[in-house]
Amino acid sequence: MTINYTDTADGKVLAADNGTFYWHRLNDGNVYEIATKRTIYLSTGGYARQEGFGTDPAPVDVVEAARSFAREVAAEDQCRAKADQDAERRRSADIDAALSIIPQGARDELDRVNAEWRRRADAVNEGGEGYAHVVGWSDHTGKEILAKHGLTLEQIDDVTAAVDALLRAEPR
């Protein structure tokens, strides 16, 4: 039987139904039998009462069918989570590869540029309490430094894309 999925914004399973049963992430311990409007509680520990504690009475075969449906939904959600993890690993490897091509001389030069900006801020801001400009690889100066140290335009684009991806990444 085909299961229809509704997704969350980040690709997880929000809801699922197969015409017989319905499941929703906000009440993930329950499966609803659509025809009878029966609530079947599926405890995580494997123990479930046939009735009471939030579950309507249901025949054993219906409960087993609901469990099977819930296992399929959980398997789909785990498959999606694994795909997300794999994609994140690939993105991280791409970012690491792009940043690893930056020569040490270029890193040192960018550090010197930022140290000079900090020195100027300290002099102007009476101790540097205010704003101090920071130059990154995506800035014009950062790109010029990369080019001066032999990176091609394509490599510079890879570095800036990696930096932008890191800046957009959600904190963990």
Which tens digit of pLDDT belongs to each residue from 63-87?
A: 889 989 999 999 999 999 999 899 8
Q: How far is CA 1 from CA 35, 71, 132, in A?
A: 16, 14, 62
CA 34/CA 19 separation, integer angstroms = 7
Confidence at residue 109, expressed as pLDDT on a 0 to 100 scale: 96
At residue 45, does pLDDT exceed 50? no
Both structure tokens of 79: 């498959």
Percent of the chain's residues with pLDDT above 90: 56
List CB contacts of 69: < 8 A, sequence separation 6 or more: 3, 16, 18, 20, 21, 23, 31
CB 32 within 8 A of CB 21: yes
Of the pLDDT bands very low, low, confident and very high (cuts 50, 70, 90), residue 118 is confident
Q: What's the pLDDT tens digit per position in 6-42? A: 999 988 999 999 999 999 998 888 899 999 998 888 7
